[in-house]
Amino acid sequence: MKRIATTAAALLALSGCGSSDTASFMIDGSEMAVTLERVKAFAWSEEWDLYLTVRRSPDCQRRHVLKPVVSDAPKVELFTPEPYVFIVRQGKRWYVTELKTCQLQSFKEAPPEPGRPAGVFLAKDGGLVFVPDPRARPAAPAQPAAQ
C-alpha cells in the first residue's frame, strides 16, 4: 500500500510539470541570434510565458520578457530596418532590439517603417519554429561595433 501511495504521489507531482521550447534566428553563423522561448509552467496553465533572447557572443546576451499569450500558437514577427537591428512585433506590441548591446525597448506606437521582413516565429507541428521570410536578404558581413 505504501508503494502505491508513493507512486501515486510521484505521478501527481510529475503531472504538474509544464513544457517549453525555443526557436532561433541565427545571424552570420552561430555567434549571433535572436531566440524566442515559450514556457508553460504547469500542464494546466492557460498562458505561455514568452522570452526573447538576443545574443552576440561573447560580448552580450540578454533574455527579455514579452507579454504572455493564451494561444498555443504564438506569432512573433521580425523586421530589420538596418543590419543587426530588429523590430519585433507581437500582436499589437512592437519592440526594437539590436546586437550591439542586446537591449530591448518597447514602442509606444507602431513604427511607421519597421524595415524588411526577416521572418516569423510560430508554432508548427506542436513545436516552435522560425520561418525566414523568402524576401529577406542576408545581413551585411561586417560585425557590429563593440562597446
Three-class DSSP category at 77: strand
For 36-82, what is each residue's pLDDT tens digit? 999 988 888 888 899 999 999 999 999 999 999 887 778 999 999 99
On whether the CB atoms of residues 115 and 135 are closer than 8 A, the answer is: no
The secondary element (H helix, E strand) that includes residue 1 is none
Q: What torsion do the CA atoms of 8, 14, 16, 18 make, to the nearest 10 degrees?
A: -160
Q: How confident is the model at residue 17 (pLDDT cuts 50, 70, 90)?
A: low
144: which residues sit within 8 A by CB, 6+ positions away? 56, 83, 84, 98, 99, 100
Q: What is the pLDDT of residue 105?
A: 95
Q: What is the pLDDT of residue 30?
A: 83
> Backbone phi, then psi, for 21, in 5-degree steps?
-155, 165
8: which residues sit within 8 A by CB, 6+ positions away? none
Q: What is the pLDDT of residue 138?
A: 53
Percent of the chain with pLDDT over 70: 80
Which pTM value belongs to this model? 0.78
Q: What is the pLDDT of residue 10?
A: 42
